Amino acid sequence: MTRVQCIAILTFLPAIALAGSSFAQSDYYIRSQYPDGTFTGSHEILTRPKEGYYQAQYCDRLFWVSTTTVVWTEEEVAAGRTLILEENFGEERNVLCSDNTAFASLYDLGLDKREIEALREPEGSFQTRASRIHTIRDAFKQFK
C-alpha cells in the first residue's frame, strides 16, 4: 500500500464511520389519523433528554416530549382520532402501537395544576388552530 493510499484511508475512514452511525438512528413520531385511516398530523418525540422536554412513557417505552405534543395528543384523542406511535428508520416505518390509552397526559409529566390549566387554555389550544386550518382547507376543497 502506498503512502497516498494510507493517508486517504486514514482521512476518509473516520468520516465514513461517523456518517454511517448518524444514519443508524431511528426517528419516532406520534401520528394522528381519522377512524378511516386518513392522516391528520404528527409530532416527533425524542429518545434522549432535551432542555424544555419532559420524560414520558408511550406504549411502555420512555421518550422525551414537549408539553405542546402532549396537549396535541390529548386533543386528538378527545376529537375521536387514533394515535399511532411509529419508528422511522430511513424509508422504513414500523408501527410500535396504536393504543390511545398508552399515551402520556399532562398529569403524567409531573406538572402542577396551574401549569396544566394554563397549557389547556382554549384560546391557545391546538384544536382552535387546527379548526382554523381545517376551515381554510375545506374552503379550498371545491377547487380540487
Class of residue 56 by CB neighbours under 10 A (exposed 0-12, middle 13-18, buried 19+): buried
Is the pLDDT at 6 greater than 80? The verdict is no
Class of residue 72 by CB neighbours under 10 A (exposed 0-12, middle 13-18, buried 19+): buried
Domain range holding 113?
Answer: 26-143
Residue 51, domain member (yes or no)? yes
What percent of the chain stands above pLDDT 70? 67
Side chain identity at 14, as an amino acid letter? Answer: P
Select, from the ranges 17-26, 85-94, 125-134, the one with the highest average predicted confidence (pLDDT).
Answer: 85-94
Residue 97, domain member (yes or no)? yes
Reduced to 3 states (helix: H, G, I; strand: E, B; else coil), residue 24 is coil
* Predicted pLDDT of residue 13: 45
Is the pLDDT at 22 greater than 60? The verdict is no
Is the pLDDT at 21 greater than 70? The verdict is no
Determine how many CB atoms are found less than 10 A away from the CB of residue 119: 17
Domain total in the chain: 1
The answer to whether the beta carbons of residues 45 and 30 sit under 8 Å apart is yes
Is the pLDDT at 55 greater than 90? The verdict is yes
In angstroms, rounded to a whole number, what is the distance separating the alpha carbons of residues 25 and 34? Answer: 29
Is the pLDDT at 49 greater than 50? The verdict is yes
Residue 6, domain member (yes or no)? no
Average pLDDT over residues 17-25: 49
